[in-house]
Structure 1
Amino acid sequence: MGSQWCWSPAARGLITLSSNASYYVHPWPAGDSEDFLTHKIFQMEQLLSWKGTCSHKDPGDKGDMARLSRATQIRERRESLRSPRYLELYIVADHTLFLTQHRNLNHTKQRLLEVASYVDQILKTLDIQVALTGLEVWTEQDRSRVTPDANATLWAFLQWRRGLWARRPHDSAQLLTGRAFRGATVGLAPVEGMCREESSGGVSTDHSELPIGAAATMAHEIGHSLGLSHDPDGCCGEAAAEQGGCVMAAATGHPFPRVFSACSRRQLRAFFRKGGGACLSNAPDFGLLVPRARCGNGFVEEGEECDCGAGQECPGSCCLAHNCSLRAGAQCTHGDCCARCLLKPAGAPCRRAAGDCDLPEFCTGASPYCPPDIYLLDGTPCARGRGSCWDGECPTLEQQCQRLWGPGSRPAPDACFQVLNPAGDAHGNCGQHSDGSFVPCAQRDAQCGKLQCQGGEKSALVPHTVPVDSTVRLGSREVTCRGAFVLPGAQLDLPDLGLVESGTQCGPQMVCQDRRCQNATFRELELCLIACHGHGVCNSNHNCHCAPGWAPPSCDKPGFGGSVDSGPVQPERLSHTLSSTAQDTFTLAVILSFLLPLLLGASLAWCCCRHPGPCLQQCLWGSRRDPVCSGPKDHPRRDYPLSSIQPTELGLTATGEPQPLELCQSPAATLRSLCPVAKQVKSKSPDPVSGER
């Protein structure tokens, strides 16, 4: 039985018939017309014409973008529903790429859209959805310097990106160039640069005839920004070589990679746990998405109640995929604040604090999404005073040494930095020039150059690096300083490997930035802390995050804690301390309820032994008083009915403070009972908590 296929004028994309049969459809030739009448269908094996690499001397190729198995897709969609992350991506095409597209702006934009679509497919395997928030084509001239030197091109673009972010906020900016970089390099990105003002971006060459090749490189570089290093040998067990291998493979000679290895996933989890990539937790501004809104793109835009992407990706029965509307009774489809199609109550925790410099967030009760990820304001002390918060992280020399050399590693003495880094060689430097020569550190910047450590493993944990040991004299003894040297031609897409990270303390009120030790008075932090009245800390929006017991925005009135940015804190979380007091009271009451009958029984037994006969009846029922049973006259017996014994209860006022209780005489009976005091007793105000979350 034959099949008849009907193509739209500009159909393009992937057709996957099985794990071993994948085809790529593309209009041919591109031409200047929008009405493509001819299409070509390529087998994946036919795409193996380009030879290049992002970092290795023995380059391979990248090919297939075939989808994962259905079971894998379902599992990963389920994980995505629990913790969605969005990458707001801005892609720029340089002037050379515009020229290679025959100065056709529409064709250039279409190519960028295809690249973004394939990057989205790749990153979805990490539960990260790409939200394309901007496209830019440099039609007249380059806005930043683009040269065959990948490193110089990268840092020039990242400098230009700072101005871009001010006018068009985004998470990551990627430059796609039509130029070829020197050597075999096709891409470059700072490791763990995601969400950082100075390093959240990358550059890639448009090296293949089809856009899927550039997309594979761009996804690889974004992986480096997310803290992923190249997969060591034997790490990629998720996909065989003939299926494309893994995205972070150092070199391949097979179809385009489609999955990330288990090693990459572990690195990504570690990156998120320590507070990296905080901006990916924020839902994008759907009004800024490119291209225009449509039902089925996975983003809830104006006029839509839900949008879970392709029809087969709709979770459960919350959303009607054909018109992007909610089913009857449903309030939401996915998000950290959505459970079983219903919104979680206000104050429900939705994002834990990740690391010393992060802050928790809580559901608002009105949105299925967790509020934007907020962290401590730059300059806040962290790591017990050994570091200062910087972009939501707490960079310390000790942490960086252990990441490079493993547990047990520690920073070398200051003499190692002061003696070695001004030399400007493989043992110590402040980076490299475009020609590969080393940059010597100025003496005042020596603490911001090559990371000098001691102890740890014999070899570095980062692939393709070797230890470089040096000896310096410290007083009457010699100390060993250890740095990391990147092997020539390896990891070229990870610049500044082994250098001290930005934000690391390099002296009193001094931090490293752009490989220089710069003054950091953090005046904004000082002013903000004054506004918090000593009862909270300052967040990255320059607002107070109040300690439990104090109310935002100024932490000067009783409340439940938190900030105006993080969502309302559940009252139950604050009352936990109060409830523990009530629990202690209740426990005491339970103990007494057991002890009192025992004491009563013991008293009766004593009475029976001392005064048997009629006196027993009198003691039991109290029908009449008898001197024998009443005891000595100078110690009259106080007879309280058992019904008067009640457990103590704590009443809560409107402010959530415990209301004092006292014993009072009931006007209607002679029994004593518990009742609230008439006079308000001012409770002790909560102890100031600075820096506590």
Structure 2
Amino acid sequence: MDSNHEKLRKRIFEIINYINDVYKEINTFVALTGFEVWTDSDKIQVSSVAGDTLNRFTQWRNSDLIKRQKHDNAHLLSAVDIDGITVGVANTGSLCGSLSTAIVEDHNSNAIPVGATMAHEMGHNLGMDHDSSGCVCSDSTCIMTAKLSYFIPQHFSSCSSSNYVNYLNKRNPECLLNMPKPKELIQPPVCGNGFVETGEECDCGTVQGCTNPCCNALTCKLTEGSQCATGECCENCKIMSAAHVCRPKNDECDLPESCTGKSAWCPEDVFTVNGIPCKNGKGYCYNGQCPQREEQCIKMWGPTAVVARKYCYDQNTRTEYYAHCKHNGDVMCGKLFCENGNAEPNYGQLVIFNECKATFYSNSEDDYGQVDTGTKCGEGMVCNQNECVDLEKAYKATNCSAKCKGHAVCDHRMECRCEPGWLPPDCETPAESDGLREYSHCCGCLCDTSMRTGRLLQAQREHTIFIPVRV
């Protein structure tokens, strides 16, 4: 690998530009927020054994890198020859978590084949498996093809797209919903790549491919008279009124969002106030979710897993190395115990006795085997920091909406939002309706109008990556 820093920067940018070019078709933008070059000494032992190096890199990332630079995903790029024909390895379905890492061998003097390998390993981070014979690929090979070839892939297969949708729906990786600020990106803006970056008002892709009349593809500026080019609140190049619902209510723990009348983007996704009963009384709303042990077991052990019987949870009273609670009344808020399901967990190491299955983690700070915060542990009681406490102690949300002025209700951030048909700032002004009765914007609070995407593949997603480079 060339140790000249400027040449290395250009090489990294070329890799990221390729990744964004191929990830564009699944509406995902990879934002490079940093890279560091190990010139003085290696921060970890980098060996030809891929699994060992990945584990060491993951530990270093969690103990060092993540504390210095916020990011969603980290890839180690190294010229060390990995054993066999392997040129990369990644933790599957791990984005946004402590295992959101991969290592990539810098195996070619051309940056694009290396970019193809990084795009492949990133696909694993996003829950994609290797393509099988039953997958539909528009070229001779696609991004998630198992073996490297001379052909540089440009597309994802039908299986990869399906894997990605399933990952988004089942895992709900929240970091994909946070759009980084342009100043946080280190890659230079590229007019024509389809993503709005620093200095651009819009970006509709190449001149040949742009079909957006609101955007000048040559300059990435809005056309004359246009207020916007894209966004849930942009129609016919104009910003839509505050009466338009841009994100309908998803379920009983959600609140709908309306346009602001000032931005082309839908406001931040907000939810009902925490503590509202959900799923027919099986749970209580918490930050837009209805956490239940049943779903947590399925996430950990697969679709046939069920919640273990009460005597399994009594193990939480025994101060075991993998499970302990402060009080007997907290046992349903400690370690998650399940039965049936897969032989091995999706995360952590297996712990089993009788029919009771749990997981163990060497780093207690990354213990994903605990019962989730907000899970119901009794009538009017929820888990909070591994304790079973009453709703008011957990959320302090009793009569929150009664404190709101005018026609407003409280959301999960304890902020007041206007009821259907009423506009901020006082929630006393009627709104013109477009036929949908939904909640409007904040009332008596400051609103965050940053972009939040939907949960389906049709919506654009962004995640940030940090690349340590070993030279």
Question: SS state of the match for residue 116, structure 1?
Answer: helix
Deviations 1:374-431 (A, max 9, x none): 456888875566556677544433114445777675212143466699999xxxxxxx
Q: CA deviation at 1:157?
A: 0.9
Q: Do structure 1's residue 336 and structure 2's residue 232 form an aligned pair? A: yes
The change in CA–CA distance for 1:193 and 1:218 in structure 2 (over 3 A counts) is same
The residue type paired with residue 88 of structure 2 is V
The residue type paired with residue 60 of structure 2 is A
Distance between the aligned counterparts of 2:393 and 2:152, measured in 1? Answer: 48
Question: SS state of the match for residue 75, structure 2?
Answer: strand
Higher helix share: 1
Matched-pair contact (CA < 8 Å) for 2:21–2:193: no
Q: Which residue of 1 aligns with 2:142?
A: 245
Question: SS state of the match for residue 313, structure 1?
Answer: coil
Q: In structure 1, which of residues 135, 146, 150 is the aligned counterpart of residue 54 of structure 2? A: 150
Q: CA deviation at 1:116?
A: 1.2
Q: Which residue of 2 aligns with 1:129?
A: 29
Q: Which residue of 2 aligns with 1:322?
A: 218
Q: Which residue of 1 aligns with 2:103?
A: 204
Matched-pair contact (CA < 8 Å) for 2:116–2:143: no
Gapped runs of 5+ residues in structure 2? 326-330, 360-365, 439-471
Distance between the aligned counterparts of 1:394 and 1:218, measured in 2? Answer: 35
Q: Which residue of 2 aligns with 1:120?
A: 20
Distance between the aligned counterparts of 1:421 and 1:313, measured in 2? Answer: 63
Distance between the aligned counterparts of 2:172 and 2:374, measured in 1? Answer: 15
Matches within 5 A, 1:470-509: 472=354, 480-481=355-356, 503=373, 505=375, 509=382
Matched-pair contact (CA < 8 Å) for 2:192–2:203: yes
Matched-pair contact (CA < 8 Å) for 2:131–2:160: no
Q: Which residue of 1 aligns with 2:339?
A: 453
Matched-pair contact (CA < 8 Å) for 1:235–1:262: no
Distance between the aligned counterparts of 1:549 and 1:413, measured in 2? Answer: 48
Matched-pair contact (CA < 8 Å) for 2:418–2:427: no
Distance between the aligned counterparts of 2:65 and 2:358, measured in 1? Answer: 31
Q: In structure 2, which of residues 82, 91, 94 is the aligned counterpart of residue 189 of structure 1? A: 91
Q: Do structure 1's residue 441 and structure 2's residue 327 form an aligned pair? A: no
The change in CA–CA distance for 1:405 and 1:136 in structure 2 (over 3 A counts) is closer
Q: Which residue of 2 aligns with 1:627?
A: none
Distance between the aligned counterparts of 1:421 and 1:239, measured in 2? Answer: 56
Distance between the aligned counterparts of 1:526 and 1:416, measured in 2? Answer: 28
The change in CA–CA distance for 1:318 and 1:291 in structure 2 (over 3 A counts) is same
Q: Do structure 1's residue 526 and structure 2's residue 412 form an aligned pair? A: no
Deviations 1:646-688 (A, max 9, x none): xxxxxxxxxxxxxxxxxxxxxxxxxxxxxxxxxxxxxxxxxxx
Distance between the aligned counterparts of 1:534 and 1:177, measured in 2? Answer: 54
Distance between the aligned counterparts of 2:398 and 2:102, measured in 1? Answer: 39
Q: TM-score, normalised by structure 1?
A: 0.48
Distance between the aligned counterparts of 1:391 and 1:145, measured in 2? Answer: 40
Question: SS state of the match for residue 347, structure 1?
Answer: coil
Deviations 1:540-559 (A, max 9, x none): 5x634455588768xxx654
Q: Which residue of 1 aligns with 2:129?
A: 230
Distance between the aligned counterparts of 2:210 and 2:304, measured in 1? Answer: 48
The residue type paired with residue 17 of structure 2 is S
Deviations 1:543-600 (A, max 9, x none): 34455588768xxx6548xxxxxxxx965279959xxxxxxxxxxxxxxxxxxxxxxx
Let me know the Cα RMSD of the aligned residues: 5.0
Q: CA deviation at 1:154?
A: 1.4
Q: Do structure 1's residue 572 and structure 2's residue 469 form an aligned pair? A: no
Q: CA deviation at 1:149?
A: 4.0
Q: Which residue of 1 aligns with 2:119?
A: 219
The residue type paired with residue 203 of structure 1 is A
Deviations 1:617-651 (A, max 9, x none): xxxxxxxxxxxxxxxxxxxxxxxxxxxxxxxxxxx
Q: Which residue of 1 aligns with 2:294?
A: 398
Deviations 1:277-321 (A, max 9, x none): 445445542344333445434344565443223212312433222
The change in CA–CA distance for 1:246 and 1:414 in structure 2 (over 3 A counts) is farther
Deviations 1:169-198 (A, max 9, x none): x5x23232425778968333362533xxx5
Distance between the aligned counterparts of 2:251 and 2:82, measured in 1? Answer: 38
Matched-pair contact (CA < 8 Å) for 1:539–1:545: no
Matched-pair contact (CA < 8 Å) for 1:308–1:314: yes
Question: SS state of the match for residue 533, structure 1?
Answer: helix
Q: Which residue of 1 aligns with 2:415?
A: 543
Identity of aligned residues (%): 28
Question: SS state of the match for residue 129, structure 1?
Answer: strand
Q: CA deviation at 1:371?
A: 2.5
Matched-pair contact (CA < 8 Å) for 2:34–2:186: yes
What is the count of residue pairs matched by the alignment? Answer: 411
The change in CA–CA distance for 1:573 and 1:500 in structure 2 (over 3 A counts) is farther
Q: CA deviation at 1:353?
A: 4.4
The change in CA–CA distance for 1:253 and 1:575 in structure 2 (over 3 A counts) is closer
Q: TM-score, normalised by structure 2?
A: 0.66
Q: Which residue of 2 aligns with 1:307?
A: 203
The residue type paired with residue 75 of structure 2 is L
The change in CA–CA distance for 1:323 and 1:544 in structure 2 (over 3 A counts) is same
Distance between the aligned counterparts of 1:233 and 1:375, measured in 2? Answer: 40
Q: Which residue of 2 aligns with 1:682?
A: none
Distance between the aligned counterparts of 1:307 and 1:505, measured in 2? Answer: 43
Q: CA deviation at 1:119?
A: 1.6
Matched-pair contact (CA < 8 Å) for 1:157–1:175: no
The change in CA–CA distance for 1:246 and 1:162 in structure 2 (over 3 A counts) is closer
Matches within 5 A, 1:617-632: none
Q: CA deviation at 1:327?
A: 3.1
Matched-pair contact (CA < 8 Å) for 1:332–1:341: yes
Gapped runs of 5+ residues in structure 1? 1-99, 425-439, 473-479, 485-495, 561-568, 578-693
Distance between the aligned counterparts of 1:365 and 1:409, measured in 2? Answer: 47
Q: CA deviation at 1:347?
A: 3.4
Distance between the aligned counterparts of 1:527 and 1:518, measured in 2? Answer: 16
Q: Which residue of 2 aligns with 1:291?
A: 187
Distance between the aligned counterparts of 2:286 and 2:91, measured in 1? Answer: 20
Question: SS state of the match for residue 291, structure 1?
Answer: coil
Q: In structure 1, which of residues 345, 348, 356 is the aligned counterpart of residue 241 of structure 2? A: 345
Question: SS state of the match for residue 122, structure 1?
Answer: helix
Q: Do structure 1's residue 261 and structure 2's residue 157 form an aligned pair? A: yes
